[in-house]
Amino acid sequence: MLNADMIYEAADYLRLSKEDGDFSLSNDKLESDSISSQRAIIERFVAQNPNIKLVAEFCDDGYTGTNFDRPDFQRMMEAVKAGKINCVIVKDLSRFGRDYIDAGKYIEKIFPQLGVRFIAVNNGIDSENPDTLEFAPFINIMSEWYAKDISKKVKTGIKTKGMS
């Protein structure tokens, strides 16, 4: 149910873990290229939606998506609970989180209970349009599987390096 008259006070949430492959910060580089790319995608989306006003940004650069114990995610949830934000925008579901159960809990239970609109731009998911949520659980399962798969590969690589 899209509410064209409502103005949303939105936060963009950006995340990248070291294992995702683009985490290469140095003294002259303050954030990964992926974080900059995520921000640009969300800003383009917001520019095309005049009823959404970007009021905050939360960024966990270098944090895993396999749990929600991330500093800026927790700060974002405090702002949500304080009523400062009523819309959360991410580039895609994998940036939000890679834990199938917890991601689903936020998207399907917590955000609706708090009156928060959730948008995953590249997945075409917008909680204001329930039809777009049909495949969210499957996307979340694949994101969790990817995190487990990459973790196995990293452990195998470390083990192999140690043996040689």
Mean per-residue pLDDT, 100-127: 92
CB 121 within 8 A of CB 95: no
The confidence score (pLDDT) of residue 34 equals 86
Question: String of b and e for 78-92 (b: at least 16 CB within 10 Å)?
Answer: ebbeeeebbbbbbbb
The confidence score (pLDDT) of residue 154 equals 41
Mean per-residue pLDDT, 97-120: 92
The confidence score (pLDDT) of residue 152 equals 47
pTM of the model: 0.77
The confidence score (pLDDT) of residue 71 equals 97
The confidence score (pLDDT) of residue 30 equals 61
The confidence score (pLDDT) of residue 18 equals 72
Q: Is the pLDDT of residue 161 over 60?
A: no
The confidence score (pLDDT) of residue 89 equals 98
The confidence score (pLDDT) of residue 149 equals 45
